[in-house]
Amino acid sequence: MSANARGVARVFKIWSRFYDHPVPQGLFYRRVHRRILARWQPAPRERVLDVGCGTGLFLEHLARDYGELELVGFDLSSEMLEQARKHNPGVELVQGSVYAIPFDDASFDVVLNTISCHFYLWE
């Protein structure tokens, strides 16, 4: 694991306790999610990867409102994924680094990254 990934993992170990709070979710994250949905317009049976899925709130929204999607969440933080499992019992959630994504090329119809790319550094 890179030094950057270790630092990010430490930050998200703490942030995972507060990430779902209604204030940041309502002011920022949900707005971004709505904009993504307005541009994307999900279609039934699309296979979707959410890179940097965090606590899985966007996945939960997608599962609720677009039930025919096949959803996979991917995140570096085990603590974030622990929270995501509470929101998404039927969604595949995978822990790992964006520098070594464990999926074959062309495995997904849609790949989302909704506010985590600023944590990635070129190595």
- pLDDT tens-place string over residues 62-71: 999 998 999 9
Q: What is the pLDDT of residues 52-100, one digit of tens each?
A: 998 898 999 999 999 899 999 999 889 889 989 998 988 999 999 888 8
Match 């790992």 to its residue by tokens.
Answer: 96
> Percent of the chain, pLDDT > 70?
72
Question: Residue 23: is its pLDDT beyond 50?
Answer: yes
pTM: 0.78
Residue 16, class by beta-carbon neighbours within 10 Å (0-12 exposed, 13-18 middle, 19+ buried)?
buried
Q: Report residue 58 as tokens.
A: 């966007």
Query: CA 93 to CA 13: how far, in whole Å?
Result: 17
Q: Across-strand partners of 92? A: 72
Question: Residue 6: is its pLDDT beyond 90?
Answer: no
Closest listed residue to residue 15, CA positions, set 58, 78, 63, 72: 78
Domains of the chain: residue spans and CATH: 3-119 (3.40.50.150)
Mean of pLDDT values over 2-12: 68
Q: What is the pLDDT of residues 28-54, one digit of tens each?
A: 667 788 888 999 999 999 999 999 998
pLDDT value of residue 76? 87
Report the run of H or E that residue 73 belongs to, with start and end. Answer: strand 70-75
CB 57 within 8 A of CB 115: no
Query: CA 38 to CA 65: how far, in whole Å?
Result: 13
